[in-house]
Structure 1
């Protein structure tokens, strides 16, 4: 895959972030999502590639979509697959909260796994612990192993868990083990990425969340050398049939290579301030964005601070 595509696609996350950030704290999730989709689609369609959306965002806004199955790009150049979320944490953005992102992952054709279910049980860690955790084990066992590899005590560890009623028992088990917890309202992709950031203070992410977000998290963690495991959790008979149709055993564990095979490029831009990216900062002359872009083949992670002058380009 052409390495120059990484910079091309980070422009798409920048555009989506600036568009949605205009509506930060305005209380309108749908409007913020619509603006992010319109901006991201416009930018992707200017890139010389033929990309199929494997994981997208449902909805049609002003005749524009980024749904699963559509073709994007200029229709020339390499055939790619793309997984995207123009606004990860739409609710967070609408309330002016923490860790809203615009993100995407690109790969060569046949590389990105299309989730057959809506939900997935997940565990994610940084590079030092990728070979010691096991999603089939108890939280206490995984935390004990993690503390051993990090040469610390369990009480020194911090876990990210989505604040949902379904996680009552998980939260109790983690607390009983002695670890600290950061409960988040949304945005578990950001939480997963944080496990691989040395200064984030986050050691592990546990719990059940969106399967699409699980694939996105796996893409980012793969680029950073971390570890990710997931088990699909069907919520109805239709999803159970989809798993059976694709010959997926009910308790099969998927790792990063199962979910995102081959060379992966991942890009993310902060919409609101977060644990590893600052949000969009508007200025009289334009805006400042902070992004990361990384590639699994090289392991390179770039932090990009960009100044966008609106008198020289479209407004967001």
Structure 2
């Protein structure tokens, strides 16, 4: 009897190749930790990520970036990446999420990439900012981003078997969140305020071993799509609503005929389970340890690597010999360290 009938041969786990891309970006940008030069740190991450992508056997196209919003040297939307020899993939990137975190020597800056089949990622068009709600798997399907904050926190607390006063909410420390912060405090929950980094915050909210239980507030739309890739793999939930932060952004959305009141769910932000996600810590923090330089020309990285098709989640700690990498790597680590 042929037991292989109807089964597919295992295909390649691109996430294990993808982590080399985030590792390179993390190592290159980590040299700028605390130096107050966010553009230089960002440029180092972008250059390393772009160069390492060239060795990855995919026919990739960047569809999610944030260069236009931040006027950063981002891998631009429409840019082709990869060797061109592999499967056609859409690419979502943030070579350095938390440029300010890195520049100021603060925790939770990361390098992050996600891959998906063409057309799987939500196209934000001119929508740079998104209101987000992220809850762990236990509360998936139970919450509504348009509901009052107190009601949402009560639902999450009940789903987790906690009291509201035990719930911790990740919020970006921005002036736009003054009312949100007041509402969370009135509900009795606790708050972690972070200046940047809501991809890391979303994963923290979804992870059972994190002290963060939920993420609320407005952040970048590209980060929302990246977070959705991780949420889809982790079984958690993200809901989003485009939330323009300037008259020009609002007018652009209206001109594009985009309904700003529409709730975007996880399966709409990322429309496939055949996704790959990798993130490497740059500065140390509660999400991933940062890049370490233990001496003698070495570097140590810690990464989170996930594959949607199998649900496999790996934490990878890697030791790198920069001296050996310089002999054949496409990344100019000497320039990054200058």
Return the match for 2:124 from 95, 115, 129. Answer: 115
Please state if 1:311 is matched with 2:320: no
Residue 276 of structure 1 and its aligned partner are, at CA, apart by 2.4
Aligned partner of residue 325 in structure 2, secondary structure: coil
**Structure 1 residue aligned with 2:5:** none
**Structure 2 residue aligned with 1:193:** 203
User: What is the TM-score when the length of structure 2 is the normalising length?
Assistant: 0.89
Runs of 4+ in 1 over 3 A off after TM superposition: 235-248
- CA distances 1:110-130 after superposition (whole Å, capped 9, x unpaired): 111121311111000111111
Return the match for 2:52 from 16, 31, 43. Answer: 43
**Structure 2 residue aligned with 1:281:** 292
**Structure 2 residue ranges without an equivalent (≥5):** 1-9, 327-332
1:1-316 to 2 correspondence within 5 Å?
A: 2-58=11-67, 66-116=75-125, 117-236=127-246, 238-240=248-250, 242-244=252-254, 247-262=257-272, 263-285=274-296, 286-314=298-326, 315=333
Residue 180 of structure 1 and its aligned partner are, at CA, apart by 0.2
RMSD of equivalent CA atoms: 1.7
Aligned residue pair count? 312
Residue 58 of structure 1 and its aligned partner are, at CA, apart by 2.3
Residue 296 of structure 1 and its aligned partner are, at CA, apart by 1.8
Residue 100 of structure 1 and its aligned partner are, at CA, apart by 0.3
Higher strand share: 1
Decide whether the 8 Å contact of 1:41 with 1:65 is kept in 2.
no
- CA distances 1:187-245 after superposition (whole Å, capped 9, x unpaired): 01111100111121010000011111111111111111100000001244554454446
Decide whether the 8 Å contact of 1:48 with 1:75 is kept in 2.
yes
Give the Cα–Cα distance (whole angstroms) in 1 for the partners of residues 180 and 66 of structure 2.
29
Decide whether the 8 Å contact of 2:66 with 2:222 is kept in 1.
no
**Structure 1 residue ranges without an equivalent (≥5):** none
Decide whether the 8 Å contact of 2:199 with 2:227 is kept in 1.
yes
Decide whether the 8 Å contact of 1:288 with 1:308 is kept in 2.
yes
Flag the structure with larger Rg.
Answer: 2
Structure 1 stretch 29-38 or stretch 306-315: which is displaced more? 306-315
Give the Cα–Cα distance (whole angstroms) in 2 for the partners of residues 126 and 3 of structure 1.
29
